[in-house]
Every structure is written in C-alpha cells, then in structure tokens.
A = this chain, B = another copy of it.
Amino acid sequence: MRSQMQKAINDVIFGTDTPAGKRFDLFLIYAILASVLVVILDTVMSLHDSYHRLFFLLEWFFTAIFTIEYALRIYSSPLRWQYIRSFYGIVDFVSILPSYLSLFFVGSSYLVVVRLLRVLRIFRVLKLVRYLNEANVLMRSMRQARRKILLFFCVVLVLTTIFGSLMYVIEGRENGFTSIPKSIYWAVITITTVGYGDITPQSALGQTLAAIMMLIGYSIIAVPTGIITAELAVEINRQREIRECKYCHAISHDADAVYCRKCGKKLPEQDDEAES
C-alpha cells in the first residue's frame, strides 16, 4: 500500500492539473534549460577562464536537483518498473548520468545536453493542446511515410556506396579519396547538396561523374519531400473532415475555425487529443 507521502509527492511531480504540479513542472523546465546553458557556456574558452568555478558549482547544483528529483519519481511512482523503463524514465536517468561519468571520463560531462529531451514534456505540461494536435498531424504523417522513407534511405545508401567506390577508383588516394569509407562520406556530402568542399574531384572524369551525381541527388531530394507532403496533405484534409458541426453536420472546417461555415453555429471545441 502506498503511503500518504508517496501520493503527495506523486501529485506534485507527475501531476499536471494541480497548481503545485504546474509550478513544479515550470521550475523544472527552467532548471533544465539553465543547466544546459551552463554546460554550453563552460566550453567557450574566454568564459571558461573567468567563470569555470561558478559553472562547475552550478552544474553539480543542477545535477543534485535532478538526482533528487529522479529518486523521488521512483519513490513516488505507483508502478516503479514501468516508469523506469518508460521513454521519459530512461531520458531522466540518462540526463544525470554524464555528470557522474565525468568523474571517471573527461569530456563526458558535455553530454548532459541530452537533458534537452526532457523539455519535450513542456507540451504535455502546459496543456498546449493546439500544439499537441499539430504535433499529432506531423507524427501520423511521419508514421504513414516511414516505410517509404526507409526504402528511400536504402536506395541512397546503395547509390552512395557504388558512387563512392567508383570515385575511389577514378580519383584515388592522391586526390583526397583515401579510402572507400571516405569516398562514401564524400558521396553523402555531395548527394545531400551539403558540399563542404574538403574533398573534391580533381580529374576531368571525376568531375563529370560528380556532376552527374549532383543532378541525380537533385532529383531524388524530391522524393522524401514528395512522400511527406503527400501524406501531410491527406492528414490535414482528414483533420478538417473530423470537425463536424453538431447542428447541420457540415464537415471540412479549418483547424482554427470557431463557427460552422454553413449554418454559422458554434463548432465543438477541439478535443484534447494528446497521446497518453
């Protein structure tokens, strides 16, 4: 049986409806952003030299807070293992890990930026229903598109490997294509149109092949865009059809419409479609 205290803590930490719960969540978000900022600023040489001591203290201060919070979450959770193994449970744990690891491995403390993932809670916390709705539209389109995107990535991988190897044979070590993995790295840079220019073909044949690759990359960049756009269009249209007037049963209202476009009566409010 859960103690009274566990329940009280649970209400504050996990609750999003009570004023105490809301205030706690807001405080947490500011603490997360502040702790990430501290780590980022500590890597800037000029600031590091002047304020390293302060940054060091602040980082351990935030780590202490998040450690206590994590312990309280485990303590107060009615379904402990379920929380620990949930997405947010793992993120919470990984967020405090780098600070402790930095005692043994230099450099690992910078990985506390994964704390940023915790901010994703902001949407759940602040009941930003509209944003959740939009996020859902995006997520559902992505889910519909995932197989096509995966297929597309397989094609890109095969293409970059074949083109990369060809360039390795054509250009060779002396022109910067020192190995096939490096040539594949170049092929990815070229096909995604990033184009650093740290490795570039020097021979006429290599430049011709590179130009062909760019034109191919130029067309296949259109494929993921096409996939996502087409799925988004379906999803947005469905979203419009979902909003039905209770009086005249007209559908196809915009996401931000308040009155029915046929009979002018008030539309039902959009439900809280948050993912639980």
**Interface residue stretch chosen among A63-71, A193-201, A243-251:** A193-201
A35 within 8 A of B: no
Binding site for B on A (CB under 8 A): 36, 39-40, 43-45, 107-108, 110-111, 113-114, 116-117, 119-120, 130-131, 134-135, 137-138, 141, 144, 147-153, 156, 158, 161-162, 165-166, 168-169, 178-182, 184-185, 188-190, 192-198, 200, 204, 207-208, 210-211, 214-215, 217-219, 221-234, 236-237, 240, 254-256
Partner of A43, one of B39, B117, B168, B224: B168
CB neighbours of A117 from chain B (8 A) = 158, 162
- The answer to whether residues A195 and B188 also contact, given A131-B147, A179-B43, A221-B225 and a CB cut-off of 8 A, is no
CB neighbours of A232 from chain B (8 A) = 226-227, 229-230
Q: Say what secondary structure dominates the interface of chain A.
A: helix
Q: How far is the CA of A149 from the CA of B161 in the complex (A)?
A: 24
26 A-B residue pairs with CB within 8 Å? A40-B179, A40-B184, A108-B169, A110-B169, A110-B180, A113-B162, A113-B180, A131-B147, A131-B150, A138-B223, A144-B254, A144-B256, A185-B207, A188-B215, A192-B214, A192-B218, A193-B195, A194-B194, A195-B195, A196-B196, A196-B200, A223-B228, A226-B231, A229-B233, A230-B232, A231-B236
Please give the distance in Å from A63's CB to the nearest CB on chain B: 16
Q: How far is the CA of A230 from the CA of B198 in the complex (A)?
A: 36
CB neighbours of A168 from chain B (8 A) = 43, 110
Q: How far is the CA of A193 from the CA of B182 in the complex (A)?
A: 19
Q: How far is the CA of A157 from the CA of B218 in the complex (A)?
A: 13
- Most chain B CB inside 10 Å of its own CB: which residue of A45, A130, A228: A228
Please give the distance in Å from A199's CB to the nearest CB on chain B: 9
Contact A224 B222 (CB under 8 A): yes
CB neighbours of A192 from chain B (8 A) = 193, 214-215, 217-218
CB neighbours of A152 from chain B (8 A) = 138
Contact A178 B219 (CB under 8 A): no
Please give the distance in Å from A171's CB to the nearest CB on chain B: 11
CB neighbours of A230 from chain B (8 A) = 229, 232-233, 236
Q: How far is the CA of A188 from the CA of B200 in the complex (A)?
A: 14
- Most chain B CB inside 10 Å of its own CB: which residue of A150, A166, A225: A225
List 9 additional contacts besides A153-B219, A193-B195, A234-B236; criterion CB under 8 Å: A108-B169, A119-B158, A144-B254, A185-B207, A195-B195, A218-B221, A229-B229, A231-B236, A233-B233
